[in-house]
Chain A
């Protein structure tokens, strides 16, 4: 149980933290999505790393091979990647609409605009 033997786990934790921090700390909506992407990517590593055995081969039964790597984590993460791409695409599309509607992609500015609207109500805004 050394630092090196659990290298992939430490990296996973680091990436999770970095991603979450960016989501929380940044005001720029695009940067938040980048953080979210890093956060999700960390999970891919968590799944894939244990699937690889040193010396393991693809699980095709043949003479001379006794150690196989588990392919299931890779398949799962393929699904998770698809989900992640869809989320990111949707998030970016929303940011485009937000930029059209507010003229800004800075969270503080947008909240300030909303607060202003609340103070002096105007008729409904069309989303864009």
Chain B
């Protein structure tokens, strides 16, 4: 009977682990608690995905108060899919963190790091599982507040400014979202998302609903780091401790993208969002700008972490491009890229974390000659880079393939050219790493040849291996992504 409470336990397990860790305080036991909690969470997420694929939407009445009066936890294949990505990333980062943070976070603060990771995980999973608009805001803030502190734990003092700037922009984003939810509440009288979706058509053209759409879109776009609202992201990723960069790059923005998809397709409905107004065109324009401008900026970076961060902004453009197409194919490509990019960028940041540990920095000066000093890590970075470009045989290729075929399906041939051109920009910024790693001599004080500690190396290689595996055999990911797209598209018209 425990399985029936899985939707709640998905959030409750990490949420309880956090105060436990604070009580324990010592580094090793708190790591063990965090590891167990993430493992349990991952198991729950997998079982939820399994059940939602088989049975459809799961509804859980929090505290047995029947929805829509009580708070409902509601999870379908789309939410469970992103939850699996988030929980899996948590499980991979946890073993990595043990050694990964030793160099970057002071010993007496380790327990705080683990507690905050748990809170962040709980918040992100809560956003995915809750069926209540205001609850989304609360979980958004739970995860965001934890994120700000995690970023500020970075060793460089610029991490503090990065965290402060993210705090300002993140809070503005969340507040705009609450304004939108408030307007929707005034218009429909409900906060339950499913209930709201059924009541909205009666008020679909009222100005308050349009204002709500605008507020929610802009607020969530700030959290997604959709160009040009991405200014907080490069510094935040660059100066956060390595495991935090990897975790955030793979999860935080992805969860916000899920929220945006939910609002567009399940709550407002695609006809209100796309057919009746220019949302699609605006999103398309911003996605194209995101695919090109940050990619060009990435080329001129002198620090690998910043380069990868700008590349993230650019890759987010592909995901929103799929959303802007307003078709099942486009959404499926978005869901695919959400998964594949989480895998690729998470893997790259994990490998880079090991490199930073040994080379004491991620600037190109420090990384010079990496092909000699850390051959396997350098090679893994190149493989991850190939996946960013979208070379066949890597995960990045699969999602770009679906994106391009979705564009062709709609007769938008010029989008194919745009995707290809922006991939060429990715070739340039990945090549910059290749040049530095293989064609430059190592710095004078280079570390002796060798690799990162095993506990960091294995998770990183697992992720990069995943890039190749899901690039060669995309059966599982494409099947699930198709279901996700169908669920999102039909959740409004298909009853409920």
Contacts and interface: CB of A to CB of B under 8 A. Distances in A.
Interface residues of A, number: 34
A125 B157 contact: yes
Given A50-B186, A94-B152, A80 B178 contact: yes
B138 interface: yes
A57 interface: no
Contacts of A16: 179
Given A36-B172, A83-B141, A87-B141, A94 B178 contact: no
A86 B145 contact: yes
8 contacts: A32-B168, A40-B175, A47-B182, A76-B191, A94-B167, A97-B152, A98-B160, A128-B160
Contacts of A126: 155, 157
Contacts of B152: 94, 97, 127
Interface string B212-237: 00000000000000000000000000
Interface in A30-49: 32, 36, 39-40, 43, 46-47
B155 A127 contact: yes
B6 interface: no
B156 A125 contact: yes
A87 B138 CA distance: 12
Given A36-B172, A43-B175, A80-B178, A110 B156 contact: no
A110 to B, nearest CB: 6
A124 B154 CA distance: 11
A4 to B, nearest CB: 19
Interface of A: 16, 20, 23, 29, 32, 36, 39-40, 43, 46-47, 50, 73, 76, 79-80, 83, 86-87, 90-91, 94-95, 97-98, 101-102, 110, 114, 124-128
6 closest pairs, A vs B, by CB?
A101-B157, A125-B157, A83-B141, A94-B164, A98-B160, A46-B182
Given A80-B178, A83-B141, A87-B141, A97 B134 contact: no
Interface of B: 134, 137-138, 141, 145, 148-149, 152, 154-161, 163-164, 167-168, 171-172, 175, 178-179, 182, 185-186, 191
A20 B182 contact: no
Q: Which of B145, B161, B185 has the most A CB atoms < 10 Å from its CB?
A: B161
A43 B160 contact: no
Contacts of A40: 171, 175
B120 to A, nearest CB: 14
Contacts of A91: 164, 167-168, 171
A90 B147 CA distance: 11
Contacts of A124: 155-156
A4 B152 CA distance: 46
B161 A114 contact: yes
Given A40-B171, A79-B134, A94 B148 contact: yes
Contacts of B148: 90, 94
Given A47-B182, A90-B149, A98-B161, A83 B168 contact: no
A119 B128 CA distance: 43
Secondary structure at chain B's binding surface: helix, strand, loop or mixed?
A: helix
Nearest to B163: A94
A119 B11 CA distance: 45
Q: Which of B154, B179, B191 has the most A CB atoms < 10 Å from its CB?
A: B179
A126 B160 CA distance: 11
B168 A36 contact: yes
Nearest to B152: A94
B159 to A, nearest CB: 7
A43 B148 CA distance: 22
B172 A23 contact: yes
A15 B186 CA distance: 19
A43 B178 CA distance: 7
B160 A101 contact: yes
A73 to B, nearest CB: 8
B160 A127 contact: yes
Nearest to A118: B302
Given A43-B178, A87-B141, A114-B161, 5 more contacts: A39-B175, A83-B137, A87-B167, A127-B155, A127-B157
A55 B181 CA distance: 26
A73 B172 CA distance: 20
B354 to A, nearest CB: 18
Contacts of A125: 155-157
B150 to A, nearest CB: 12
B172 A20 contact: yes
Contacts of A23: 168, 172
Nearest to B178: A43
Contacts of A32: 168
Nearest to B153: A127
A110 B159 CA distance: 12
Contacts of B185: 47, 73
A29 B164 contact: yes
A12 B257 CA distance: 28
Contacts of A110: 161
